[in-house]
Structure 1
Amino acid sequence: MNTRYRSPIHNDHRRIISYFINIPKPDTLLRLCLVILPVLLLCHTLRAELPPALPGEEITDHVLRKTLVQDTIRKGAKDTLRSVTLWYDKAASTWDAPSLTDQMSKDNTIVPMGKGGIFIPRMTQLHKEPDIEILDSMGVSVGGGETGVTYPLEPGSYYVMLGSGTHKQRIVRKVEVVEFRTMPVIPHWAGLIIETIDTNAASIKGEYELVRIDGFESFGRGYGADVSLGETVKTWILKPGLYKILGRGESYNTLKNFITVRLMPGELSRIVLIQRPEDLVILGGGNVDVASGRKITSNWKFGGSVGGNIQFVNNVDKKDDRKSDYSSLLNLNSSTWIRYHKNPLEWETTISLNEGFNVVKQASSSSSWSIMSATDDFKVRTLFIWRFFQWLGPYGSVEAKTNLLTKDIRRGDKELFLILTDDSVRTTTEIDSSAVHRLNPSFSPVTFDVGGGVNIDALNLNLMDIAIRLGAGSSYSGFPEKYTEISGSKINYDTSDRAVARLIDKSVLLRYEKKTEIFELGPLGQISANLRVGRFGTAGAELKVFVPLYPENRLTKPDFNINTILSWQIARGVTLDYEFSYVLKQPTNKDAVVDLATNTVLLRFSFSSR
């Protein structure tokens, strides 16, 4: 019974074993291939190597740490890669130009086989920084030009000279060029942009001098830009340190008419210099952004500001109550602007208002308060620039200026207003005994200026730069009837006539002026040049030519304005300046002819124990 039960199982087991025993064996050659193939793959892997490096060099934290100036690292601080990258990120965030990596990636310079390259980054826009020069190990110049460009060179040691000032003041960096690699020069220098404006935040063609404080080292004269003429401000490239910005003609250690600025390694600083347009005296300045604004879209930006002050004064004279008074002064400053910028087009419109009111009342007077206008300035300006080349761009501008309020004058302790039609008492037309007399009505005067032309940066080298401006302009000024206050010493009268003398002494003298209109039209040309002479000297010159065509045609008798300056550093803290200016105006009216030449020699010296 048990045998019959186990027999099927036993038979199945035998069939399974017989199946595996009878499987056909693989071919001997195939088995050999299966053994050799893994061995060959292993040998190939052991003999493999990395592919050759790509041309150029990756800007890593190690490169930044290696090229960083040691002075910028605090003593005793832990030298970590993170601290280096934080320094670079902070410095590059102040640039107007893209970061170093972006500049190198967008540079289309081709480095030939067998050569390497040097890349010097820029902090601002093209054509605004001094050119660089590259010297080999023997001191021979092998290249140069603008920053922000790769310079292909043979492998070896080179010196890069860059920065503002004379040959001696330039910055020198040694760079090792390696084949197939572009070596970036990490900027340890500093950039400085100085914009000159007036108290109404309007750009003016100011003038200043830049001096390094620690060694009384002058870097020469600098000038602002008149944006209404399409001009742009150049960038100073300097060694980090403390600098002094002086007014024209000041000594190095002056305690007036100056501001200071500290430049940090790798950073771009923007300074606003407020100057008085009449004599270019420095009224203030610093890191002030007068056009911060807010973006509307990627290309549009607008901004505005409002400010002012209020002052109350009560003068009490215990001896004479008639001299006591109450006064209140209110000043209001506001400006609004909108700007469009998309290369190569720029458009900007600015509206500014500067108003001041003086409310006065005499304590002994029963009359009401009188309102006198102090500051009154309303201006609208539109500027359009088309920079189809960085060194060439036409411009057009329209500007309107006027006064919105009337202007009055108080006679104070005088008894009368004596009104004259000229500078003689014999032509007196009116005697006014009122307390206040109106000098100018509203919208007096009204001025329209329209101009256009083209700016050309003809030459921009390390030793010399030349700029040319050609264009035409017209100006209209309308003056309604008005009165001008004059001094008694400037009028003609019989001093022996006591009655007339007493009348003059107790009166405020006003001269009546008729309504006049002035319109001028003509072409304008200007050329300016700056030259760095030798190791210690600088020279600058500017020539302006205006040819009025209306209302009088003076094509053969144009107006000239020439200004030149030579500056030579004799020793540390001692500078000799020579200035020459010549003004020639040749109108038909001989009384308006100007033919004036001025020569000025200025020896400036400064000493301070340090």
Structure 2
Amino acid sequence: MGGQKAGVSPAFLFLVLLMFPVQVLGQTSPENTWDAPPAYRQVEMDPTLVPIGKGAIFVPTMTTSLAEPVYLVYTNETLVAEARTGTSVLVEPGRYQVKVGSGTIEQMITRTVDVEEGHTSLILPDWAGLVINVIDETRTPIKESYELFYQSNLENYGLGYGVDEELGEELTTWLLKPGLYKVVKPGESFNTTRNFATLRLLPGELVRYTLVLDDENQNFIGFGILDEGTRQINIEDWKIRSEINGNFILNYFQNTESQRKEYNFTLTAQWFNQLRYITDLHNAFVRIILDEGLSFEKGESIRKYVDRIELKATYIYRFWEKVGPYLNLALDSKFFETNAYFDSPRDVYRLNTGGDTTHIYTAAESVRLSPAFFPLTLKEGVGFNWIIAKSARLNLNLRSGFGARQTFVHQSYLLNDSQTQLKPLQKSTLTGLEMLMIGDSRIARRVQFNTEFDLLLPESDTQTWVYDWDNRVRVTLSKYISLDYNLLIKKEEAIPDVQSEHQVLIRLSYVL
């Protein structure tokens, strides 16, 4: 038989051409990770008109202009303009150096751009965007700090903070050069093997990480990407999320010699609900968390393991981008009664507010501390969020308002340390003014200052004021040496005197 040239079916070719480009076309642009529209779309939306004899420079935003550091425009090492990302700068035609990014001025990323008359020069980001949300184990955003290092040369980029999103505060977006970064607990050294996390940033991409802290000692207990967006329902301006999580643990022990068998189990469940409504003017937030759990050990009755009801609701009206009044409500309670259990029977004395015995529980194995739904705590607050300053040299945000808290009790008691007396809890009401100020400043090219001042004024008497003022100054002495000075001034409710703490850290780093 003669040789026959193999042919290729047109249908087969069509199928290959149809399927192969899917991988190529499926490669997503880094701009798809942004919260903001793509860069060229932002330029089209920019209302700036370029007059005759002028040109423009445009640096796009990945999230929002207020969340990102401003960019600087230089010519011949002279600062000629600064602007928010997502907005244009009008300049004379010519060559300019544009500095973008977080950290000190020296740490900012420099790009050179040529500006032509009548044209807008777009600088496409080859830097990365990073947002870190700080929460506790209940997924509640908390205002705690962390420190960020560039791992390749041990460069310190400073402090980042969590926010109270329920009061309309917005997480800061870091703009950083791509590479490997390390997040550590403030005060820990760069080489620490505890309370740290690492992450890699890619050019042009925005990534969101979540840092989970222990609410008592602020130690790191989790870090990573929580894909919350895939678990929520979006209906126009509404974002709805509801999920049920459960956990079951069974432990079984057997001693071969004594033939003794022990077992216990714990069952917990959480129903998490969150509703958010966001427009240019309105921001409404409601969160309801129900946490329930029980435990059982051999020879004992089933007992309550966890029991909590939490409701938080906030409304913010943004009549101006720099000012927004807020109103927030919160409720904290429980579904079931609370009991205390003893290892051995004992007599327990129930007292009244005067300290007199009203009842004796004889040979009690357990006593009731409080009925269902009590104690019940309510919190209310009203005030304003202010953006006082937003520039390359100074960022200053202020939240001030009036707060109130009530704790309702009904046949609720506190067991003393010796577990022999029940003392009644008292209904309480606390009202006062509250203020929170957060700021950062690039004092000089190598000097950065951070401050956070939290103040509660229950009364006009200054002795009743409670405040916490945390200040940090970082000076980059050279590429390998930096100096950190931390000053904490605080006044606690239970301690009449003002307390202060000082800490000086000299960081030495050299990559061999």
TM-score by length of structure 1 reads 0.74
User: Partner of 1:160 in structure 2?
Assistant: 98
Candidates 452, 457, 469, aligned match of 2:399: 469
Q: Assess, with a 3 A threshold, how the Cα gap between structure 1 residues 320 and 574 changes in structure 2: closer, same or farther.
A: farther
2:500 aligned residue: 598
Q: What pairs up with 1:476-515 in 2 under 5 angstroms? A: 476-488=406-418, 509-515=419-425
**Contact 2:490 2:498 survives alignment (8 Å):** yes
Distance 1:483 1:608, change over 3 A: farther
Displacement of 1:214 in angstroms is 1.0
1:74-115 alpha-carbon deviations (Å, 9 max, x no partner): xxxxxxxx999987x521111111111221111111111122
Larger displacement relative to structure 2 (458-467 or 274-283): 274-283
Q: Could you tell me how far 1:385 is from its partner in structure 2?
A: 1.2
Distance in structure 1 (CA, Å) of the matches to 2:431 and 2:267:
39
How far off is 1:582 after superposition? 2.5
Q: Which residue of 2 is the match for residue 393 of structure 1?
A: 324
Alignment of 1:373-388 (within 5 A): 373-388=304-319
Q: Alpha carbons of 1:481 and 1:453: their partners in 2 closer, same or farther (altered >3 Å)?
A: same
Give the stretch that moved more between structures: 111-120 or 477-486: 477-486
Match of 1:92 in 2: 31
1:261 aligns to what?
199
**Structure 1 residue 450: Cα displacement:** 0.7
Q: CA deviation at 1:573?
A: 6.1
**1:585 CA drift (Å):** 5.3
Whether contact under 8 Å (1:480, 1:516) holds in the other structure is: no
The one-letter code of the counterpart of 1:596 is V
Q: Indicate the residue corresponding to 1:119 in structure 2.
A: 58
Are 1:564 and 2:471 matched, yes or no? yes
| SS of residue in 2 equivalent to 1:306 | strand
Offset, 1:481 = 3.7
2:36 corresponds to 1:105: no
Of 450, 456, 464, the residue aligned with 1:546 is 456
Deviations along 1:6-57, whole A, 9 cap, x unmatched?
Answer: xxxxxxxxxxxxxxxxxxxxxxxxxxxxxxxxxxxxxxxxxxxxxxxxxxxx
SS in 2 for 1:127: helix
CA-atom RMSD in angstroms: 2.9
Q: Tell me by how many angstroms 1:331 deviates.
A: 1.5
Map 1:440-479 onto structure 2 (within 5 A).
Answer: 440-479=370-409
1:455 positional shift: 0.7
Percent identity between matched residues is 29
Q: Deviation per CA, 1:109-168, whole angstroms, max 9, x where unpaired?
A: 1111122221111111221110111011x1111111111112222221110011000011
Counterparts of 2:292 and 2:57, CA distance in 1: 55
Deviates more, 1:523-532 or 1:244-253: 523-532
Stretches of structure 1 lacking an aligned partner (at least 5 in a row):
1-81, 363-368, 489-508, 587-591
Task: Say if 1:580 and 1:597, in contact at 8 Å, map to a contact too.
Answer: no
Please name the residue that 2:4 is paired with: none
Shift of 1:293: 4.4
User: CA 1:555–1:486 in structure 2 vs 1: closer, same or farther (change >3 Å)?
Assistant: closer
1:430-463 deviations in Å (ceiling 9; x for gaps): 3543433333332232111111111111111112
Cα distance change, pair 486–321 in 1 and its aligned pair in 2 (3 A): farther
Given that 1:200 and 1:354 are in contact with CA atoms closer than 8 Å, whether structure 2 keeps it comes out as no
How does 1:93-492 map onto structure 2 within 5 Å?
93-136=32-75, 138-290=76-228, 292-295=230-233, 297-316=235-254, 325-362=262-299, 369-412=300-343, 414-416=344-346, 418-419=348-349, 421=351, 430=360, 432-488=362-418
For 1:599, the aligned partner's letter is E
Separation of aligned partners in 2, 1:157 and 1:105: 23
Higher strand share: 2
Quickly say closer, same or farther: Cα 1:480–1:606, change in 2 above 3 A.
farther
> Matched residues in 1 for 2:448 and 2:362: separation?
59
- For 2:487, the equivalent position in structure 1 comes to 580
- Label 1:238 to 1:342 Cα distance change in 2 as closer, same or farther (>3 A): same
Could you say if the C-alpha distance between residues 460 and 212 of structure 1 is closer, same or farther in structure 2, counting changes exceeding 3 Å? same
Contact preservation (8 Å) 2:33, 2:206: yes
Contact 1:293 1:301 in 2 (8 A): no
Mapped partners of 2:445, 2:178: distance in 1: 20
Whole-angstrom CA distance in 2 between matches of 1:321 and 1:428: 47
Bigger drift between 187-196 and 225-234 goes to: 225-234
One-letter amino acid matched to 2:197: I
Provide the C-alpha distance between the structure 1 equivalents of 2:458 and 2:130, rounded to a whole number of angstroms.
Answer: 39
Contact 1:411/1:417 (<8 A) preserved: no
Structure 1: distance between partners of 2:117 and 2:509? 50
| Alpha carbons 2:375, 2:412 under 8 Å: kept | no
TM-score by length of 2: 0.87
| Compared CA separation, residues 128 and 469, structure 1 to 2 (3 A) | same
Displacement of 1:204 in angstroms is: 1.1
State the AA in 2 paired with 1:454.
F
Residue 555 and residue 595 in structure 1: after superposition, are their counterparts in 2 closer, same or farther (change >3 A)? closer
Q: 1:116 to 1:244 in 2, by over 3 A?
A: same
What is the CA–CA distance in structure 2 between the aligned matches of 1:404 and 1:234, rounded to whole Å? 37
Q: Within 2, Cα distance between the matches of 1:190 and 1:511?
A: 60
What does residue 520 of structure 1 align with? 430
Q: Secondary structure at the match of 1:105?
A: helix
SS of residue paired to 1:101: helix
- When residues 318 and 421 of structure 1 are mapped into structure 2, their CA distance, relative to the original with a 3 A threshold, is farther
Q: Which whole-Å CA distance do the structure 1 matches of 2:279 and 2:204 have between them? A: 27
> In structure 1, what is the Cα distance between the partners aligned to 2:284 and 2:398?
22
Aligned length: 489
SS at match of 2:319: coil
Q: 1:569 to 1:296 in 2, by over 3 A?
A: closer
Distance (whole Å) between structure 1 residues aligned to residue 219 and residue 421 of structure 2: 32
Distance 2:377 2:330 in 1: 8
Cα drift, residue 544 of structure 1: 3.0
- Which amino acid in structure 2 is aligned with residue 527 of structure 1? M
User: 2 CA distance for matches of 1:445 and 1:317?
Assistant: 43
Matches of 2:25 and 2:395, distance apart in 1: 36
